[in-house]
Amino acid sequence: MSQLNKNKKHRKNEHTSLKNRKNRTRYSHNLKKKNTKKKNRKKYNNVDDRKMKMIPIGGVGEIGKNMTVFEYGDEAIIVDCGLKFPDDDMLGVDIVLPDFDYVEKNKDKIKGLFITHGHEDHIGGVTYLEKVANIPIYTTKLTRGLLEKKLTEAGLEDEVKINTIKAGTPVKLGNFEVEPIQVTHSIADSVAFAIKTPAATVVHTGDFKVDYNPIDNKMIDLQRFAQLGNEGVDLLLSDSTNVEEGGYTPSESTLGETFYNIFRGCKNRIIVTTFASNIHRIQQIADAAVAYNRKIAISGRSMQNMVDVARDLGYLKIPDSALIDIKDIDKYRPKELVVITTGSQGEPMAALGRMANGDFKNLEVGPNDTIIISASPVPGNEKMVSEVINKLVEKGSEVIYQKLAETHVSGHAKREELKLIQALTKPKFFVPVHGEPRMLLHHKNLAEKMGIPSKNIFIMNNGEQLEFNHNKAEIINETFSSDSVLVDGLGIGDIGNIVLNDRKKLSENGLIVVIQKMKNNTPIGSPDIISRGFVYVKENEELIEEAKAEVEKALQVSRDKHYTEWSDIKSEIRSTLHKFLRNRMDRNPMILPILVNV
């Protein structure tokens, strides 16, 4: 072989050897890199294997007292803390609160309370919660203003820290990152929340609708929902209030034309009632009033508070020159006035209810009034609203309400909007919230049609726990107390089913009080019988005398049976009188025997 060929072969072998060394080095580097990835992935999976918990304290299977706890490890946050107004059978009850027992026991792990918006069913329980578990609050500017007024009235203004948050700016608390997302609703400054931990990403819509033409030009941030969907949403919680209604909820701005049409050419005094929290509605009413040179008077405590806070913070723009005190309305002719008032739900003690009953001291309604009810009755309030309308009509007033004109639009999303949010977020798991049982079921069915497997959708009860991460979700067996806490005056939680049943029985059948003097377990004289809400004694003397005779029989039976315990004697009186009244009148009053030792 020539020297030239030998050199070529040597260079070729040298090149091959170098290439092999490079390949081995590259392989070793890639293997090391691959092993590092495996280690990292294993490490990530260890974190990923930890789970979040979602515990609805209130707000599922009902409309009201919305409150949800999210936990990760030894840390937790709360979303919303609302109240619920009492059902018809909760006689004497003022408000209904969530059960704070779980939160109170775990208050040391709770990093913050995040509020979606300023409606009572989302903020109404805050002052009660803060008395048992002092928790920093995170919310938007307007909601903060409303909360500060509540906390001041409760004497807690110096004890609770409120932090102002903005849509698009995340808040980092330990392992939690909470990002507010701009949504539209029937109150300004409403937000949804994207909640991130190493275990999972959650989107909680809060109350929302998709309004492409909002009054304040702050449109729902659909782009951010879509971005989160692309990043990966593990769990979606979504508003179910209007899931039974197809299509889209109309924009709040559509009502402006309605108000202008009613105001145009109207010679009467105009009285408008709406929800005090609906600042955008109030703004449109005020705009129409100013356009037609009418002065604006505000009536009702909650309405006045809302207008004051919203104007101070710049959310409501009404010229000072347009506002007058409700006490000064007699200085103006009817065509120069608009009164914005509370009472849209027919509440008898609200301003419009008192006007209808003729006991509102600042004005008396009559033929010179056009009254606009710019709200729909909350389920259960239909009868009260109808009664108020009838009374106003009887006084000669013109009453305009939803069946006669487009005076109200909802603040909650209908089916097509709910589908849009699901399509954008593409969640692995879904929990419908903010709805009664049938609404949650309809929302579950809607989610299935959007492609979410049935096994990944959870209809929950208050107090249950959903445990989940990127890969798996399940309701675990452990549950927590979720009983409603009833507030009656200054009493919190001291009213239960027994008391409510007694109140119901008293309201339906009345009360019989039996007073018997006793000496050494022996009756002295005849019993006295007092009736309240059962029969009028003076018109039923014969019945009362017969009832006294039955009581005397019961006392004789007690002596024959040698009863010495007064509880046994009372039980005998109660049983005997109950049988007599049921047979004699087919009625079942509450019977209260009182034995007096003389």
63/183 same-domain check: yes
Domain end: 400, 432, 455, which one?
400
* Cα Rg of the chain (Å, integer): 33
112/217 same-domain check: yes
Q: What local confidence, expressed as pLDDT, does residue 112 receive?
A: 97
At 45, list the tokens: 């999976």
CATH, residue 345: 3.40.50.10710
All residues at 6 or more sequence positions from 423 whose CB lies less than 8 Å from its CB, including other chains: 450
Q: What local confidence, expressed as pLDDT, does residue 493 receive?
A: 56
Number of domains in the chain: 4
422/384 same-domain check: no
In a domain, 349, yes or no: yes
27/83 same-domain check: no
108/241 same-domain check: yes
74/112 same-domain check: yes
Q: What local confidence, expressed as pLDDT, does residue 1 receive?
A: 45
For 131-142, letters b (16+ CB in 10 Å) and e give bebebebbbbeb
The enclosing H or E element of 575 equals helix 566-585
19/36 same-domain check: yes
In a domain, 505, yes or no: no
Chain centroid to CA 416? 23
Residue 147 and residue 126 in contact, taking contact as beta carbons nearer than 8 Å: yes
In a domain, 66, yes or no: yes
In a domain, 502, yes or no: no
Nearest to 438 by CA among 62, 98, 96, 122: 62
d(CA 235, CA 438): 21
Sequential pLDDT tens for the chain (598 residues): 444 344 444 444 444 444 444 444 444 444 344 444 333 333 333 444 689 999 999 999 999 999 999 999 999 999 999 998 776 666 566 778 898 989 999 999 999 999 999 999 999 999 989 988 999 999 999 999 999 999 999 899 999 999 999 999 999 999 999 999 999 999 999 999 999 999 999 999 999 999 999 999 999 999 999 999 999 999 999 999 999 999 999 999 999 999 999 999 899 999 999 999 999 999 999 999 999 999 999 999 999 999 999 999 999 999 999 999 999 999 999 999 999 999 999 988 899 999 999 999 889 999 999 999 999 888 778 889 999 999 999 999 999 998 888 899 999 999 999 999 999 999 999 999 999 999 999 999 999 999 999 999 999 999 999 999 999 999 998 887 777 777 665 556 555 566 656 666 666 778 888 898 888 778 888 888 888 877 776 777 788 888 888 888 888 888 888 888 888 888 988 898 888 888 887 778 888 888 888 8
**How far from 227 is each of 144, 168, 194, 340, 426, CA to CA, in Å?**
28, 12, 11, 41, 10
Q: What local confidence, expressed as pLDDT, does residue 598 receive?
A: 80
Do β-strands 95-97 and 485-488 pair in parallel, antiparallel, or remain unpaired?
Answer: antiparallel
Alpha-carbon dihedral sign for residues 100, 154, 351, 274: negative
130/65 same-domain check: yes
d(CA 91, CA 93): 6
d(CA 524, CA 491): 39
In a domain, 406, yes or no: no
Burial class (CB in 10 A: 0-12, 13-18, 19+), 540: middle
Residues classed as catalytic? 239, 412
119/87 same-domain check: yes
In a domain, 465, yes or no: yes
Residue 530: domain span: 510-597
For 251-282, letters b (16+ CB in 10 Å) and e give bbeebbebbeebbeebebbbbbbbbbbbbbbb
Domain end: 460, 491, 522, which one?
491
Residue 188 and residue 277 in contact, taking contact as beta carbons nearer than 8 Å: no
In a domain, 496, yes or no: no
Residue 117 and residue 278 in contact, taking contact as beta carbons nearer than 8 Å: no
CATH, residue 561: 3.10.20.580
CATH, residue 124: 3.60.15.10
134/28 same-domain check: no
Q: What local confidence, expressed as pLDDT, does residue 494 receive?
A: 55
Q: What local confidence, expressed as pLDDT, does residue 5 receive?
A: 45
Q: What local confidence, expressed as pLDDT, does residue 41 receive?
A: 34
The gap between the terminal CA atoms of the chain, to the nearest Å, is 141
Q: What local confidence, expressed as pLDDT, does residue 4 receive?
A: 39
d(CA 393, CA 464): 48
Q: What local confidence, expressed as pLDDT, does residue 302 receive?
A: 92
In a domain, 405, yes or no: no
40/63 same-domain check: no
The whole model's pTM is what? Answer: 0.79
d(CA 424, CA 360): 50
Q: What local confidence, expressed as pLDDT, does residue 523 receive?
A: 84
315/336 same-domain check: yes
